[in-house]
Amino acid sequence: MGKRIGFIGLGIMGTPMAGHLAKGGHQIKAYDVFAPARERAAAAGLTVVNSNKEAATDVDVVISMVPDSPHVEAVYLGENGVLEGASKGTLLIDMSSISPITARKVAESATAKGCPMIDAPVSGGDVGAKEARLSIMVGGDEAVFKQAEPILKLMGTPTYCGASGAGQTVKACNQIQVAMNFIGMAEALVLGAKAGVEPEIILKVLSAGYAQTRVMDVRGPRIIKGDYEPGFRASFHYKDLNIIREAARAFGASLPASALAHELFSAMMANGWGNLDHSAVVKVIEKLSNCELPVKE
Ligand code: NAD
Protein backbone atom coordinates (compact mmCIF):
# COMPACT_ATOMS: atom_id res chain seq x y z
CA MET A 1 0.00 0.00 0.00
CA GLY A 2 1.13 3.53 -0.76
CA LYS A 3 2.74 5.47 2.08
CA ARG A 4 2.31 9.12 3.02
CA ILE A 5 5.70 10.77 2.40
CA GLY A 6 6.83 14.31 3.23
CA PHE A 7 9.54 15.32 0.72
CA ILE A 8 11.72 18.34 1.57
CA GLY A 9 14.13 20.04 -0.87
CA LEU A 10 12.84 20.27 -4.43
CA GLY A 11 16.02 21.14 -6.31
CA ILE A 12 17.93 19.43 -9.13
CA MET A 13 17.94 16.10 -7.26
CA GLY A 14 14.86 16.27 -5.03
CA THR A 15 12.32 17.04 -7.77
CA PRO A 16 12.89 13.91 -9.89
CA MET A 17 13.33 11.75 -6.75
CA ALA A 18 9.95 12.90 -5.37
CA GLY A 19 8.47 12.23 -8.82
CA HIS A 20 9.62 8.57 -8.72
CA LEU A 21 8.02 8.10 -5.30
CA ALA A 22 4.74 9.55 -6.57
CA LYS A 23 4.89 7.27 -9.63
CA GLY A 24 5.56 4.36 -7.24
CA GLY A 25 2.11 4.89 -5.72
CA HIS A 26 3.02 7.00 -2.66
CA GLN A 27 1.26 10.19 -1.58
CA ILE A 28 3.73 13.06 -1.50
CA LYS A 29 3.57 16.27 0.55
CA ALA A 30 6.38 18.40 -0.87
CA TYR A 31 8.08 21.47 0.59
CA ASP A 32 10.99 23.75 -0.33
CA VAL A 33 11.94 27.03 1.36
CA PHE A 34 12.36 28.61 -2.12
CA ALA A 35 8.98 29.67 -3.58
CA PRO A 36 9.86 29.05 -7.29
CA ALA A 37 10.88 25.46 -6.39
CA ARG A 38 7.47 24.95 -4.75
CA GLU A 39 5.74 26.36 -7.84
CA ARG A 40 7.70 24.03 -10.14
CA ALA A 41 6.77 21.04 -7.98
CA ALA A 42 3.09 22.02 -7.97
CA ALA A 43 3.19 22.39 -11.78
CA ALA A 44 4.70 18.87 -11.94
CA GLY A 45 1.63 17.57 -10.09
CA LEU A 46 3.01 17.25 -6.53
CA THR A 47 0.97 18.37 -3.51
CA VAL A 48 2.87 21.27 -1.99
CA VAL A 49 2.68 22.38 1.66
CA ASN A 50 3.89 25.50 3.47
CA SER A 51 6.55 24.38 5.95
CA ASN A 52 8.88 21.56 6.92
CA LYS A 53 6.66 20.96 9.96
CA GLU A 54 3.61 20.55 7.73
CA ALA A 55 5.48 18.17 5.39
CA ALA A 56 6.24 16.00 8.46
CA THR A 57 2.72 16.06 9.92
CA ASP A 58 0.46 13.00 9.44
CA VAL A 59 2.97 11.15 7.23
CA ASP A 60 4.68 7.75 7.53
CA VAL A 61 8.05 8.88 6.14
CA VAL A 62 9.98 12.15 5.72
CA ILE A 63 12.75 12.45 3.12
CA SER A 64 15.06 15.47 2.78
CA MET A 65 17.39 16.49 -0.07
CA VAL A 66 18.85 19.91 0.82
CA PRO A 67 22.35 21.37 0.25
CA ASP A 68 24.47 21.06 3.43
CA SER A 69 24.69 20.37 7.20
CA PRO A 70 23.21 23.73 8.39
CA HIS A 71 20.21 23.22 6.07
CA VAL A 72 19.61 19.72 7.46
CA GLU A 73 19.81 21.07 11.02
CA ALA A 74 17.29 23.80 10.11
CA VAL A 75 14.94 21.33 8.38
CA TYR A 76 14.83 18.85 11.31
CA LEU A 77 15.72 20.81 14.45
CA GLY A 78 14.72 24.37 13.49
CA GLU A 79 11.58 26.34 14.20
CA ASN A 80 8.62 24.93 12.24
CA GLY A 81 10.87 21.96 11.51
CA VAL A 82 10.30 18.25 10.99
CA LEU A 83 10.66 17.26 14.66
CA GLU A 84 7.84 19.67 15.57
CA GLY A 85 5.49 17.97 13.10
CA ALA A 86 6.49 14.30 13.11
CA SER A 87 4.71 11.84 15.36
CA LYS A 88 6.41 8.99 17.19
CA GLY A 89 7.44 6.25 14.75
CA THR A 90 7.67 8.47 11.64
CA LEU A 91 10.64 7.23 9.60
CA LEU A 92 13.14 10.00 8.74
CA ILE A 93 15.57 9.71 5.81
CA ASP A 94 18.09 12.45 5.03
CA MET A 95 19.54 12.00 1.52
CA SER A 96 21.56 15.27 1.38
CA SER A 97 25.39 15.02 1.38
CA ILE A 98 26.40 16.39 4.78
CA SER A 99 28.92 15.90 7.58
CA PRO A 100 28.73 12.45 9.26
CA ILE A 101 29.04 14.28 12.60
CA THR A 102 25.92 16.38 11.91
CA ALA A 103 24.11 13.30 10.58
CA ARG A 104 24.70 11.52 13.90
CA LYS A 105 23.68 14.56 15.92
CA VAL A 106 20.39 15.06 14.06
CA ALA A 107 19.63 11.31 14.18
CA GLU A 108 20.19 11.32 17.96
CA SER A 109 17.68 14.17 18.41
CA ALA A 110 15.18 12.36 16.16
CA THR A 111 15.60 9.08 18.03
CA ALA A 112 15.09 10.89 21.34
CA LYS A 113 11.71 12.03 19.93
CA GLY A 114 10.84 8.44 18.96
CA CYS A 115 11.53 8.89 15.24
CA PRO A 116 14.03 6.42 13.72
CA MET A 117 16.41 8.17 11.29
CA ILE A 118 18.90 7.04 8.65
CA ASP A 119 21.43 8.96 6.55
CA ALA A 120 21.18 8.00 2.85
CA PRO A 121 23.30 10.25 0.60
CA VAL A 122 23.60 9.40 -3.07
CA SER A 123 25.95 9.39 -6.03
CA GLY A 124 24.96 9.29 -9.69
CA GLY A 125 24.18 12.97 -10.25
CA ASP A 126 21.18 14.60 -11.84
CA VAL A 127 21.05 11.90 -14.53
CA GLY A 128 20.96 9.15 -11.88
CA ALA A 129 18.17 11.04 -10.09
CA LYS A 130 16.12 11.40 -13.28
CA GLU A 131 16.60 7.75 -14.27
CA ALA A 132 16.16 6.35 -10.72
CA ARG A 133 19.68 4.91 -10.90
CA LEU A 134 21.25 6.49 -7.84
CA SER A 135 23.74 4.62 -5.69
CA ILE A 136 22.36 5.16 -2.17
CA MET A 137 24.69 4.80 0.86
CA VAL A 138 22.84 4.14 4.10
CA GLY A 139 23.89 4.62 7.73
CA GLY A 140 21.80 3.83 10.81
CA ASP A 141 20.06 0.92 12.44
CA GLU A 142 19.91 -2.06 10.04
CA ALA A 143 16.28 -2.83 10.90
CA VAL A 144 15.37 0.77 9.99
CA PHE A 145 17.29 0.37 6.71
CA LYS A 146 15.17 -2.73 5.91
CA GLN A 147 12.03 -0.71 6.60
CA ALA A 148 13.22 2.08 4.24
CA GLU A 149 14.60 -0.22 1.53
CA PRO A 150 11.44 -0.54 -0.68
CA ILE A 151 11.11 3.26 -0.81
CA LEU A 152 14.82 3.79 -1.53
CA LYS A 153 14.68 1.20 -4.32
CA LEU A 154 12.27 3.46 -6.23
CA MET A 155 15.18 5.94 -6.58
CA GLY A 156 18.14 3.60 -7.14
CA THR A 157 20.23 0.92 -5.44
CA PRO A 158 20.62 1.19 -1.67
CA THR A 159 23.63 -0.31 0.17
CA TYR A 160 23.73 -0.64 3.95
CA CYS A 161 27.06 0.86 5.13
CA GLY A 162 26.91 0.67 8.95
CA ALA A 163 25.85 2.69 11.99
CA SER A 164 24.46 6.25 11.94
CA GLY A 165 26.72 8.54 9.86
CA ALA A 166 28.29 5.63 7.91
CA GLY A 167 26.37 6.52 4.74
CA GLN A 168 27.80 10.05 4.91
CA THR A 169 31.29 8.68 5.57
CA VAL A 170 31.09 6.51 2.44
CA LYS A 171 29.82 9.48 0.42
CA ALA A 172 32.84 11.50 1.66
CA CYS A 173 35.13 8.63 0.55
CA ASN A 174 33.46 8.72 -2.87
CA GLN A 175 34.08 12.46 -3.16
CA ILE A 176 37.77 12.05 -2.25
CA GLN A 177 38.24 9.56 -5.07
CA VAL A 178 36.34 11.67 -7.63
CA ALA A 179 38.33 14.83 -6.73
CA MET A 180 41.63 12.95 -7.08
CA ASN A 181 40.59 11.61 -10.49
CA PHE A 182 39.74 15.10 -11.73
CA ILE A 183 43.00 16.58 -10.45
CA GLY A 184 45.05 13.72 -11.92
CA MET A 185 43.40 14.16 -15.32
CA ALA A 186 43.92 17.95 -15.14
CA GLU A 187 47.66 17.60 -14.42
CA ALA A 188 48.07 15.03 -17.21
CA LEU A 189 46.38 17.33 -19.73
CA VAL A 190 48.37 20.40 -18.65
CA LEU A 191 51.73 18.58 -18.75
CA GLY A 192 50.82 17.32 -22.22
CA ALA A 193 49.83 20.81 -23.38
CA LYS A 194 53.05 22.38 -22.04
CA ALA A 195 55.09 19.70 -23.81
CA GLY A 196 53.13 20.00 -27.06
CA VAL A 197 51.09 16.76 -26.94
CA GLU A 198 47.44 17.04 -28.05
CA PRO A 199 44.84 16.46 -25.26
CA GLU A 200 42.99 13.91 -27.44
CA ILE A 201 46.13 11.76 -27.57
CA ILE A 202 46.47 11.87 -23.78
CA LEU A 203 42.81 10.87 -23.29
CA LYS A 204 42.96 8.12 -25.91
CA VAL A 205 46.10 6.48 -24.56
CA LEU A 206 45.30 6.84 -20.84
CA SER A 207 41.74 5.53 -21.33
CA ALA A 208 43.07 2.38 -22.94
CA GLY A 209 45.18 1.31 -19.96
CA TYR A 210 45.49 1.19 -16.18
CA ALA A 211 44.92 4.97 -15.93
CA GLN A 212 41.36 4.68 -17.28
CA THR A 213 38.69 6.28 -15.08
CA ARG A 214 34.97 6.94 -15.49
CA VAL A 215 35.71 10.61 -14.76
CA MET A 216 38.05 10.75 -17.76
CA ASP A 217 35.67 8.82 -20.03
CA VAL A 218 32.69 11.08 -19.23
CA ARG A 219 34.29 14.48 -18.75
CA GLY A 220 37.56 14.30 -20.73
CA PRO A 221 35.92 14.80 -24.16
CA ARG A 222 33.93 17.76 -22.79
CA ILE A 223 37.07 19.42 -21.34
CA ILE A 224 38.64 19.26 -24.79
CA LYS A 225 35.64 21.19 -26.14
CA GLY A 226 35.89 23.73 -23.28
CA ASP A 227 32.46 22.55 -22.02
CA TYR A 228 32.12 23.03 -18.25
CA GLU A 229 28.31 23.01 -18.09
CA PRO A 230 27.43 21.28 -14.76
CA GLY A 231 26.67 18.13 -14.01
CA PHE A 232 27.87 18.56 -10.49
CA ARG A 233 28.72 22.12 -9.52
CA ALA A 234 32.25 22.83 -8.24
CA SER A 235 30.75 24.71 -5.25
CA PHE A 236 29.09 21.45 -4.15
CA HIS A 237 32.35 19.53 -4.44
CA TYR A 238 34.05 22.31 -2.44
CA LYS A 239 31.35 21.80 0.22
CA ASP A 240 32.07 18.05 0.18
CA LEU A 241 35.82 18.70 0.59
CA ASN A 242 34.98 20.83 3.65
CA ILE A 243 32.97 17.87 4.99
CA ILE A 244 35.93 15.55 4.30
CA ARG A 245 38.30 17.82 6.24
CA GLU A 246 35.85 18.09 9.15
CA ALA A 247 35.42 14.31 9.22
CA ALA A 248 39.19 13.77 9.01
CA ARG A 249 39.69 16.07 12.02
CA ALA A 250 36.88 14.45 14.00
CA PHE A 251 38.02 10.87 13.36
CA GLY A 252 41.78 11.55 13.48
CA ALA A 253 42.56 10.66 9.85
CA SER A 254 45.45 12.39 8.05
CA LEU A 255 44.41 13.02 4.43
CA PRO A 256 47.11 15.20 2.81
CA ALA A 257 45.88 14.83 -0.79
CA SER A 258 42.32 15.80 0.24
CA ALA A 259 43.74 18.93 1.92
CA LEU A 260 45.46 19.83 -1.37
CA ALA A 261 42.24 19.13 -3.30
CA HIS A 262 40.43 21.46 -0.90
CA GLU A 263 42.90 24.26 -1.67
CA LEU A 264 42.57 23.73 -5.44
CA PHE A 265 38.77 23.88 -5.14
CA SER A 266 39.14 27.01 -2.94
CA ALA A 267 40.95 28.56 -5.91
CA MET A 268 37.95 27.70 -8.11
CA MET A 269 35.67 29.54 -5.71
CA ALA A 270 38.07 32.52 -5.56
CA ASN A 271 38.06 32.73 -9.36
CA GLY A 272 34.26 32.68 -9.57
CA TRP A 273 34.09 29.17 -11.05
CA GLY A 274 31.79 27.65 -8.40
CA ASN A 275 28.89 27.27 -10.84
CA LEU A 276 30.97 25.38 -13.39
CA ASP A 277 31.20 21.59 -13.41
CA HIS A 278 33.80 20.20 -10.95
CA SER A 279 35.91 19.09 -13.94
CA ALA A 280 36.76 22.81 -14.29
CA VAL A 281 39.43 22.30 -11.60
CA VAL A 282 41.64 21.91 -14.71
CA LYS A 283 41.35 25.72 -15.07
CA VAL A 284 43.21 26.12 -11.76
CA ILE A 285 45.98 23.77 -12.92
CA GLU A 286 46.16 25.69 -16.24
CA LYS A 287 46.49 28.96 -14.32
CA LEU A 288 49.30 27.61 -12.10
CA SER A 289 51.31 26.65 -15.19
CA ASN A 290 50.37 29.77 -17.21
CA CYS A 291 48.92 27.49 -19.85
CA GLU A 292 45.66 27.19 -21.79
CA LEU A 293 44.53 23.83 -23.12
CA PRO A 294 43.73 24.00 -26.84
CA VAL A 295 39.94 24.04 -27.30
CA LYS A 296 38.40 21.99 -30.13
CA GLU A 297 34.87 23.15 -31.03
P1 NAD B 1 19.74 22.19 -5.12
O2 NAD B 1 20.39 23.43 -4.63
O3 NAD B 1 19.31 22.11 -6.57
O4 NAD B 1 18.44 21.85 -4.23
C5 NAD B 1 18.40 21.95 -2.83
C6 NAD B 1 17.04 22.52 -2.44
O7 NAD B 1 16.95 22.55 -1.00
C8 NAD B 1 16.84 23.97 -2.92
O9 NAD B 1 15.69 24.04 -3.76
C10 NAD B 1 16.69 24.77 -1.63
O11 NAD B 1 15.78 25.86 -1.73
C12 NAD B 1 16.19 23.70 -0.66
N13 NAD B 1 16.39 24.06 0.75
C14 NAD B 1 17.50 24.63 1.32
N15 NAD B 1 17.29 24.85 2.64
C16 NAD B 1 16.03 24.42 2.89
C17 NAD B 1 15.24 24.40 4.08
N18 NAD B 1 15.72 24.85 5.25
N19 NAD B 1 13.97 23.91 4.00
C20 NAD B 1 13.49 23.45 2.82
N21 NAD B 1 14.19 23.44 1.67
C22 NAD B 1 15.45 23.91 1.71
O23 NAD B 1 20.74 21.00 -4.78
P24 NAD B 1 20.79 19.52 -5.42
O25 NAD B 1 21.70 19.51 -6.59
O26 NAD B 1 19.41 18.98 -5.53
O27 NAD B 1 21.60 18.76 -4.24
C28 NAD B 1 21.02 18.38 -3.00
C29 NAD B 1 22.00 17.52 -2.23
O30 NAD B 1 22.34 16.37 -3.02
C31 NAD B 1 23.33 18.21 -1.88
O32 NAD B 1 23.75 17.82 -0.60
C33 NAD B 1 24.29 17.68 -2.95
O34 NAD B 1 25.66 17.68 -2.52
C35 NAD B 1 23.77 16.27 -3.13
N36 NAD B 1 24.09 15.68 -4.44
C37 NAD B 1 23.88 16.40 -5.60
C38 NAD B 1 24.22 15.83 -6.81
C39 NAD B 1 24.03 16.60 -8.11
O40 NAD B 1 24.52 16.13 -9.16
N41 NAD B 1 23.36 17.76 -8.12
C42 NAD B 1 24.73 14.53 -6.87
C43 NAD B 1 24.88 13.80 -5.69
C44 NAD B 1 24.56 14.41 -4.48
Fold observed for domain 169-289: N-(1-d-carboxylethyl)-l-norvaline Dehydrogenase; domain 2 (1.10.1040)
Pocket probe mutation, ligand 1, options 52, 82, 93, 236, max atoms within 8 Å of Cβ: 236
Q: Is ligand 1 within 6 A of the CB of residue 74? A: yes
Considering the entire predicted model, what is its pTM?
0.96
Same CATH fold, 169-289 and 4-164?
no
Q: Is ligand 1 within 6 A of the CB of residue 75? A: yes
User: How far is the first Cα of the chain from the last one, in angstroms, to the nearest whole number?
Assistant: 52
DSSP character string of 63-84: EE--SSHHHHHHHHHSTT-HHH
99: left (phi over 0), alpha (psi -120 to 50) or beta: beta
Q: How far apart are CA 235 and CA 111, in angstroms?
A: 32
Find the mean pLDDT for residues 110-117.
98
pLDDT (tens digit per residue) in 177-189:
999 999 999 999 9
Q: How far apart are CA 206 and CA 131, in angstroms?
A: 29
Query: Which among 29, 53, 171, 239 is annotated as catalytic?
Result: 171
User: What pLDDT sits at residue 172?
Assistant: 98
pLDDT (tens digit per residue) in 265-288:
999 999 999 999 999 999 999 999
Find the mean pLDDT for residues 70-79.
98
The residue extents of the domains of the chain are 4-164, 169-289
Class of 4-164 in CATH: alpha beta
What mean pLDDT, rounded, does the chain reach?
97
Per-residue buried b or exposed e for 238-262, using 16+ beta carbons within 10 Å of the residue's own CB: bbbbbbbbbbbeeeeeebeebeebb
Q: Is ligand 1 within 6 A of the CB of residue 12? A: yes
Q: Is ligand 1 within 6 A of the CB of residue 11? A: yes
pLDDT (tens digit per residue) in 15-47:
999 999 999 999 999 999 999 999 999 998 999
Ligand 1 atom closest to residue 126's alpha carbon, by position in its atom list: 40
User: What pLDDT sits at residue 117?
Assistant: 98
